[in-house]
Amino acid sequence: MLDLDFAFFSLKNQDRRGLIYRKSILDRLAPLFFPPRVEKLIYLDGLNSRGCNISLPLGPGNLRLLDVEKQENISLRSAEILEAYQLPAMAVDRLHKEQLRPLFPSLPLVFGDNFIKALASVFVREILSRRGIRKLIITGETEYFSEFIAETAALGVPVSLQSTHPTRYEVLAYHLLYEKGQAVSTSYLKPANWERGELVLMFDPDRRQMAISSPRAFCIKFSDQVKGLSREMETHLAGNGIDPALHNLAPILEISLLAKAGLLGCSAEQNNAREEEGRKFLLLQELGKQTGLWELFLDKAI
């Protein structure tokens, strides 16, 4: 049996069509012809890490058609593959995050949110050390958002949380401003007002907002489809037959860092502790520093 560091689960991005993919037929054929399988190995030379791609040869719409029992069989089969390779967790394509999270209720899943926050934090620190940034603008949201904002605001640059519904962040801004003394404010999303000397982080996966740009402010986007953050790591993935967009890159690099550090075997109590989970991006930030991973991304920041 191969010695692997991680597993990565993916669906087909497009539904498979034809007579056999109708529900009545698909329910009967899925266990025999469309089970999850190890499709390819993934080699990350930059991290000296090796994993496998567990692929379900169906699209998201095909998966939704299956009976609950057949979906449970997919979960059980995936767990069996992980057990065979002695892997305690599984990275998952971010494009299907909401659909796949309930499919694997008993498996620890890695979606890459902490990697994205760690990368954003690295970018911010690098840019602040090299440029005269007077304001940091953050639009969109990610998991454990308040912890990320608190750590970012602690760097000493005013933070503006811009949204089409800014009232949802007023409690957070009030807490950080009046209880921690951090300069955090909220306002409506107004890209036309972004100015030179402002750094914009865009987390919102909404493609309409991700199309926003500014000729004056420096913008870094973290949409699932974004590419160009690290040509070397993206080349590694593409060479392994994996689309190197962030929806794949983030979960694969996060689980690889945790696996190489021996941190995938943590107890469920530890993994579910909000305080620890909210600060896990800081752990990823340190692991990336120790492995030299961030050096492959910082040319983008510079």
Cα(245)–Cα(168) distance, integer angstroms:
30
Handedness of CA 138, 144, 149, 151 (dihedral sign): negative
For residues 44 and 236, is the Cβ–Cβ distance under 8 A? yes
pLDDT of amino acid 132: 84
pLDDT of amino acid 211: 64
Distance set, CA 263 to CA 174, 260, 283, 284 (Å): 35, 8, 10, 11
Q: What is the CATH code of the structural domain delimited by 114-221?
A: 3.40.50.720
Backbone region of residue 7 per phi and psi (left: phi > 0; alpha: psi in -120 to 50; beta: other values): beta
Q: Residues 238, 80, 90, CA angle at the centre, nearest 5°?
A: 40
Strands (E), 212-288: 218-221
SS3 track for 200-212: EEECCCCHHHHCC
- Chain-centroid distance, C-alpha 196: 29
- At which residue do the structure tokens 């040869």 appear? 57
Q: Which two tokens stand for residue 120?
A: 């954003």
Q: What predicted TM-score, i.e. pTM, was given to this entire model?
A: 0.91
pLDDT of amino acid 271: 46
Residues 6+ apart with CB under 8 A from 168: none
- DSSP secondary structure letter of residue 225: T
| Averages of pLDDT over each 10 residues, the chain, 302 residues | 90 86 82 88 90 95 91 94 95 94 93 96 93 91 92 95 92 92 93 92 70 80 91 91 95 96 62 68 95 86 49
Q: Which two tokens stand for residue 114?
A: 């902490």
Instruction: Delimit the domains of the chain by residue range.
Output: 1-111+231-273, 114-221
For residues 190 and 88, is the Cβ–Cβ distance under 8 A? no
- DSSP secondary structure letter of residue 2: -
What phi, psi does 100 have (nearest 5°)? -90, -20
- DSSP secondary structure letter of residue 279: T
